[in-house]
Structure 1
Amino acid sequence: MAIIDLLNSLGLEIPPVPAALAAYIPSKRTGNLIFTSGQLPLVGGKLRKTGKVGVGITLTEAKEEAKQCLLNALSTLLLQIQSLDEIKSVVKLGVYVACAENFTEQHLVANGASELLVQIFGEKGKHARFAIGVSSLPLDASVELEMTVEVE
């Protein structure tokens, strides 16, 4: 099954590429690797939620925000390749979580994106990862995500 068909069967769609918020490009390819810039959980150019995880944003909500960041990152990959089916391997995922000082479940927020990657790509979606807490993110977003993939 094509990746786009799998996404549709999950009730998901790849959004338009979010506009860059500063002086950078959404993704860059070098050889067989594509690096995405950090992606916020924008929907239609706006954040659904703002604030910090553990203060106004629940773990469950933050996991959903991480999934939206991932969909946005996947959209930026399509600037470099014709189809998500060209992805040979998801190499690394980096997840930043704006959170309360005592919040220590950044890894669980990141699982929202990590689990979705495996659901979409199977073995090719298994990746190295980091998840860290930060004091703030652009536009007061709760989650930001970057990824590196290997393509054919």
Structure 2
Amino acid sequence: MSSVLPTRLDTATPYQRLEALGIVLPPAPPPVANFVTHVFEDRLLFLSGQGPREASGHLHTGKVGDGVTAEEAYGHARLTGINLMQVMQEALGDLGRVRRIVKLLGMVNAVPHFADHPQVINGCSDLFIAVFGEAGRHARSAVGFGSLPGGITVEIEAIVAID
């Protein structure tokens, strides 16, 4: 399920890697409640949770393990990673300022017996490694929830070290 970039892109910028992956960053989704999309603290950027919102505004909803497969949810986590990168872009002005993805918290809206939360959140993790290279490797938690806002399938938040 992960993307592997050709060796010649090992020194590529995040934008060159996004282009190689065929990804165009959409406008960042607005907050859905009383919070901001990001906060700076020293050389850290804290990103509020994002969900699997398409550029059209469509949200992927449902329970993983009951109507939503782990493979579909992997794609939703990847889409959520794209949305997180757009928030990074708007906050930083340049994805080249990302020194390292420090930590992700991935939440999966799943049935109680579902156990593949890490594989779902790999959709975001694999994307960040593909776009940021070694700087995209991060610490992470992947957990299941009984529900998420609006019934979305996944929500992911991030902590990013910046230059």
TM-score normalised by structure 1 residue count: 0.96
8 A contact 2:17–2:130 mirrored in 1: no
Report the count of equivalent residues.
151
For 1:66, the aligned partner's letter is A
Q: Find the residue that maps to 1:12 and give its secondary structure.
A: coil
**Paired residue for 2:159, among 124, 148, 152?**
148
Q: Which residue of 1 aligns with 2:3?
A: none
- Alignment check: 8 A CA contact 1:90 1:150 kept: yes
Kept in 2, the 8 Å contact 1:17–1:75? The answer is yes
Identity of aligned residues (%): 35
Structural RMSD (CA): 0.9
One-letter identity of the residue aligned with 1:121: F
1:27 aligns with 2:38: yes
Q: Distance in 1 between matches of 2:95 and 2:159?
A: 13
How much has 1:79 moved relative to structure 2?
2.8
Does 2:57 align with 1:45? yes
CA contact 1:19–1:45 (8 Å) conserved in 2: no
TM-aligned CA deviation for residue 89 of structure 1: 0.5
Aligned twin of 1:112: 123
**1:5-16 mapped onto 2 (5 Å cutoff):** 5-16=16-27
Q: Is the Cα–Cα contact under 8 Å of residues 90 and 148 in structure 1 kept in the other structure?
A: yes
Structure 2 runs not aligned, ≥5 long? 1-11
Higher deviation after alignment, 131-140 or 72-81? 72-81
- Which structure 1 residue ranges, 5 or more long, are not aligned? none
Superposition deviation, residue 28 in structure 1: 1.0
Give the letter for the 1:150 counterpart.
A
Query: 1:14: Cα distance to partner?
Result: 1.3
TM-score using structure 2 length: 0.90
- Give runs of ≥4 in structure 1 deviating > 4 Å: none
The SS at the match of 2:111 is: coil
For residues 25 and 13 of structure 2, the distance between their equivalents in structure 1, rounded to whole angstroms, comes to 13
Instruction: Report Cα offsets for 1:94-145 as digits up to 9, x if no partner.
Output: 1000001100100110111111111111110110000000001111100000
